Homo-oligomer: A and B are copies of this chain.
Amino acid sequence: MRPFDSDADTSVHTKPRTRIQREKEGAILEAALDLFSENGFSGTTLDQIALAAGMSKPNVLYYFPSKEELYSELLNRRVANCFAPLESMNPNGDPIEELRGYIRRKMEISRAYPRESRLYASEMLRGAPMLCDSVRGLMRALIDAKAEIIQGWIDSGHLAPIDPKHLIIAIWATTRQYTNFTAEIRGIATGADSEVFEGGMQTIETLILDGLRPR
């Protein structure tokens, strides 16, 4: 179910060899993710990270050369992984059902990884100054691929005509709302978080799927 885990994640990395190293690095990344995603890059200090990771500040910098590198690592590796394994959309399946599945998986993944998701959103909101090109490329490629599939469905008359990329953007926007802007949601909707989440999912499906179903 989990499309990736922290071990797989850091294994991409070149440095860490021993188990201890991997564990320490993991603890740092975990703490940093907590804090960066909550308070942003400037709002987080190495002291906080070191404290949360249960080690000394210099030790944090032993594993990651600088605060910026640590942030970048998180952003460009962990966040990238949010996309990569995510989207399996079957070009031969039923279009509406495939889209429904996509929306649901997107919501689920964001709910499962709220910190990664918020970190990414926060970076985007700032204008993405630290997002590396490879991740940008990855994203673009992913979108392009999906858009092509959707375009096929439109061309064959299974979906109402719409710009596929904008459709994907709309899906991202609405799912983001329920997973990253929870503070806003809580200010608007009443009820337990999970209920609101379900209500949101229902609404998104209604709008998008009914909006796309050809008349």
**Residues of chain A whose beta carbon lies under 8 Å from any beta carbon of chain B:** 38-43, 118, 121-122, 124-128, 136, 139-140, 143, 160, 162-163, 165-170, 172-174, 176-178, 180-185, 187-189, 199-200, 202-204, 206-212, 215
Q: Which of B121, B169, B178, B184 contacts A188 (CB 8 A)?
A: B169
Q: How many copies does the complex hold?
A: 4
Is B43 in contact with A41, judged by CB distance below 8 angstroms? Answer: yes
Q: A125-B118, A125-B121, A180-B125 are in contact. Are A206 and B199 (CB under 8 A)?
A: no
Q: Is the CB of B188 within 8 A of A140?
A: yes
17 A-B pairs within 8 Å (CB atoms) are namely A39-B42, A40-B43, A122-B125, A125-B180, A125-B181, A125-B183, A126-B183, A127-B183, A128-B184, A128-B187, A140-B188, A160-B210, A163-B202, A166-B189, A166-B199, A169-B203, A173-B173
Once the chains bind, are A139 and B170 in contact (CB under 8 Å)?
no
Provided the pairs A187-B139, A188-B143 are in contact, do residues A207 and B211 lie with their beta carbons within 8 angstroms? yes
Chain A, interface SS category = helix
- Are A128 and B183 interface neighbours, CB within 8 A? yes
- The contact of A211 among B125, B143, B208, by CB within 8 Å, is B208
Q: Report the minimum CB–CB distance from A26 to chain B (whole Å).
A: 25
Contact of A207 among B41, B177, B182, B208 (CB under 8 A): B208
- Report Cα–Cα, A126/B125, bound state, in Å: 12
Distance (whole angstroms) from the CB of A64 to the closest CB of chain B: 17
Residues on B with C-beta less than 8 A from A182 are 127
CB distance from A129 to the nearest CB of B (A): 9
Chain B hits for A211, CB < 8 A: 206-212
